[in-house]
Amino acid sequence: MTRAVLDDHLLRDLLTRRIGLGLEAVLRAHEPATTNLYFLRLCKSVVRAAGGALTGSLPPPVRRALGQRLITLPNEIEVVPMSDLAFRMAELAATHRLSNLGAEAVAAAEHIEGPLCVWAGDDGPHIRAAMATVGEYRTIPRDL
């Protein structure tokens, strides 16, 4: 089974077991993976817990449980090593005007030869354009 790169919103949904139909369809066909920067952004959101779209609406017990799952990330979720991606990230950033986060996401999807899956509310035109040259890009609605 191939892997799919999940952004921080989809990783949150997977780890809190709030899996909508779109994410469920991805996970039927792919093992989950993510990037270092998506993982970091989710960890920072859990620690801050000051609101926002990522973890601000989670009840405190759910947010604490998510923090524990992040500390002991399940083995089936691959975090694609930055050392495998860094040079390609630099190339993608230069070619497509991507942030480090965007370049890592595109490079990771290309590296694992799987789709890049992002929450529909975080759909970015530069990442979408870069993915059009290297692989499959999917936006996933939050349909709980």
What is the tens place of the pLDDT at every residue in 96-141? Answer: 999 999 999 999 999 999 999 999 988 889 999 999 999 999 999 9
Q: pLDDT category, 144, cuts 50, 70, 90? A: low
CA 12/CA 18 separation, integer angstroms: 8
Mean pLDDT of 43-71: 88
Q: Positive or negative CA dihedral for 41, 47, 52, 57?
A: positive
CATH C-level class of 2-38+78-140:
alpha beta
CB atoms < 10 A from the CB of 72, how many? 7
Tokens of 22: 């779109």
Let me know if 50 is exposed, middle or buried by CB neighbors in 10 A (0-12, 13-18, 19+). exposed
CA 92/CA 70 separation, integer angstroms: 28
Report how far apart, in Å, the C-alpha atoms of 10 and of each of 3, 50, 52, 71, 94 are: 14, 20, 15, 17, 27
Give the DSSP H/E element, type plus range, for residue 79: strand 78-79
Q: What is the pLDDT of residue 122?
A: 87
What is the tens place of the pLDDT at every residue in 69-85? Answer: 999 999 999 999 999 99
The full set of domain ranges for the chain reads 2-38+78-140
